[in-house]
Amino acid sequence: MDQICVLTGDLVASSRLSSRALDAALEAVAQACSDLGPQIGATRFARNRGDGWQIALDTPRFQARLALLIRARLRAVGPELSTRIAIAQGAGTLPLDTDLNAAHGPVFTASGQLLDALEGPRIAHAGGGALGAALRLFDHISQGWTQAQARAMVPMLRLDPPTQTAASAEIGITRQSLSQALHGAGYEAILDAVTLIEDSA
């Protein structure tokens, strides 16, 4: 078995969403995975249980960035959209094809069990420790993002973020508006913390 990271989640209050909104929300989660995929190695995404999803990645050091990008992508689509995210790191086996539902191993069990027990925080790590503490703070901060702040965070959470001038053009807002949104979202502190996590992994 390989050492991988698994993120398992389900949409919050999904029964209130139309089928179209549900599809858009899960597509936003998949898009966050695609945003980082080419640069962080192999990533697999799968939908399950109607409103659930799972991502496996073979470069665990990027797990915090991915969790934040999922939060940003969802909030950018709609302020009412949110997901719980249960993260685990450990041994697991990925299938040779793209069917993540055929994967197995202790890491998948740990992630699923954490999701089943998750109350209060919407982002948590099965391993606890310093990474779990950082994710708890990231969760608290990012739950307060407005839709505009989340939209601003999406391009800036990439591994190769654009300049603020390019990002503002991509989003369709002024550079000043982007800067204000990033400041309100706590971007600089979050990026510093995420970078420290990745550099120490």
pLDDT score at 33:
87
pLDDT score at 171:
94
pLDDT along the chain (201 residues), means of 10: 86 89 93 82 78 89 95 94 95 70 82 92 94 96 96 95 95 96 97 95 73
pLDDT score at 13:
87
pLDDT score at 43:
73
Q: Which two tokens stand for residue 46?
A: 């799968």
Q: What is the dihedral of CA 71, 75, 79, 85, to 10 degrees?
A: -20
Taking domain 2-142, whether its CATH number is 3.30.70.1230 is answered by yes
Domain ranges of the chain: 2-142
Which residues share a beta bridge with 43? 57
Prediction pTM value: 0.93
pLDDT score at 15:
87
Straight-line distance from the first to the last Cα atom of the chain, in angstroms, rounded to the nearest whole number: 20
User: What single-letter amino acid sits at 82?
Assistant: S
